[in-house]
Structure 1
Amino acid sequence: MPEARHRVIAAGIRRRIAAGEWRPGEALPSRVELAAELGVHPQTVRLAYVLLRRAGVLGGEERKAVYVAHPPAVRTLTDADAPWPFACETTDAGSCAATEELAARLAIPQGTRLRHETVECLDPGGRSAMLVSSWWRGRRGPHASFAAELGCVELTEGQAHALGLLVDAPAFRVVRTRFDHDGRPLETADLLLPMDRWLVRLAP
């Protein structure tokens, strides 16, 4: 059975990138332009671009210009409570009512007013490496210990946009909860780490 046309085109684009025809950060031709060059329908090129975005070869948002993605810096997460060593940007802050899940994580009644903050952690090149959304009650203070649970999620539209990925792209989700000296939850957070940029190493 012959391989799908868009996959053949995607493989050709990979070869051209490897040969140096397009370099990291450089825009590729539009779907219409490349379709005319290859003698195919623009929709076929769109499917090839989507495939290459999912693979991390191309960057850019759907229905906009695409470019050759810079190889992501693959980092290893060993301590989910360690401070981020590079630049961070607060992208959202405010208050919200505790959902059922947040109430369980913080051992509080559902509907309790919480403070909320989302921070985008940037790598040394200025690209997004991780999103951290935190919720806490009252004043933020020092903690004595923490617990972390690792899982996987599909990114929402807003999360994917911030990380430069496609909607529904998979990511590691680290649920981190901080406790006071008596073991009471003080703060909980979701750490979203794109799977193509992170390894997770469990401490012995």
Structure 2
Amino acid sequence: MRNAEPPHQVVASDLRRQLAAGDWEVGEKLPSRAQLAESYGVGTNVVQKAVERLIIEGLLEGRAGSGTYVAKPRERRRMIRSRHREHRGGSPFRADMAELGRTGTWEAHSEARTPAPEGIAQRLGIEPGALCVRTNYEFLADSQPAQLSVSWEPMAITGDTPIVLPEMGPLAGMGVVKRMRSIGVDIVTALEVPRPARATQEQANLLGIARGDQVLVIERIYFDGDGRAVETADITVPDARWEVAYEFAVDPAP
């Protein structure tokens, strides 16, 4: 197995490939955990984590006391947002899409020295009008529009550093967490507030949907260890194509 990925991700990727190839039909029962573990040469706990991931993605479904079955395909794909997504290195979006067997790319345009509007300033804990770098993103999955994002970073934090423009410099495209870490700012908390909304004309044009279509807007704020907000963004996801799921780890009982 490749050393670059944890064993459960390698198993999940191969199961995902077999499902896409039609090796198992919709409604068909998969081999048992023990059989899969023997086939892949891993422990049953590795297979368990791989299968749980594919259940979260909606590719498989578990039936109590019966086993795991191939789920009926959804019209929408599921986008997983997890507390672990920011710690995989590089771009979380690219990693998210790779786990779905898709190629994640994006286009971006940054404007430095942009005064923060009142709402953005309140999120970032800065004065209205304080200078920021605003970056508009168009994210693509297999070259098709997947989501939009508008990001704001205070220039008081990044202004005199090589990472002032997110998509230029030595860490271009590597994600907020890794970029900030390179200048000694460790992001430890992400707050996300999802809200339903209707697509504006501009959003509709970029996403290839109709004006007024349902979208999910996720308001995100990144905080460092001192509780300082270091970046905020509004992420817009078209509801007709994607459903957003949040994954949380449950601490084991003491």
Please report the TM-score for the alignment, with normalisation by the length of structure 1.
Answer: 0.59
Report Cα offsets for 1:50-79 as digits up to 9, x if no partner.
Answer: xxxxxxxxxxxxxxxxxxxxx976232323
Q: Is the 8 A contact 1:160 1:167 kept in 2?
A: yes
Q: Work out which structure has the larger RCO, using CA pairs closer than 8 Å and 6 or more positions apart in sequence.
A: 1
108, 116, 119: which one aligns with 1:98? 116
Partner of residue 136, structure 1: 153
Q: Aligned AA for 1:101?
A: G
1:27-176 counterparts in 2 under 5 A? 74-79=77-82, 82=86, 83-85=92-94, 86-90=104-108, 92-95=109-112, 96-124=114-142, 126-138=143-155, 139=158, 141-142=180-181, 143-176=187-220
Q: Is the 8 A contact 1:74 1:196 kept in 2?
A: no
CA drift of 1:191 comes to: 0.7
Please report the TM-score for the alignment, with normalisation by the length of structure 2.
Answer: 0.48
Q: Aligned AA for 1:133?
A: V
Task: State the secondary structure of the residue aligned to 1:119.
Answer: strand
Stretches (4+) displaced over 4 A: none
Q: CA RMSD in A?
A: 2.0
Task: State the secondary structure of the residue aligned to 2:82.
Answer: coil
Q: Is the 8 A contact 2:76 2:243 kept in 1?
A: no
1:197 correspondence with 2:241: yes
173, 178, 185: which one aligns with 2:222? 178
Task: Tell me the distance in 1 between the aligned counterparts of 2:147 and 2:210.
Answer: 15
Q: Aligned AA for 2:78?
A: R
Task: Tell me the distance in 1 between the aligned counterparts of 2:123 and 2:110.
Answer: 20
CA drift of 1:108 comes to: 0.6
Aligned length: 132
Q: Is the 8 A contact 2:193 2:220 kept in 1?
A: yes
Task: State the secondary structure of the residue aligned to 1:84.
Answer: helix
Task: State the secondary structure of the residue aligned to 1:183.
Answer: coil
CA drift of 1:197 comes to: 1.4
Give structure 1 stretches of 5+ with no counterpart.
1-70
Could you say if the C-alpha distance between residues 176 and 137 of structure 1 is closer, same or farther in structure 2, counting changes exceeding 3 Å?
Answer: same
CA drift of 1:203 comes to: 2.9
Task: State the secondary structure of the residue aligned to 1:145.
Answer: strand
Q: Is the 8 A contact 2:214 2:240 kept in 1?
A: no
Task: State the secondary structure of the residue aligned to 2:127.
Answer: coil
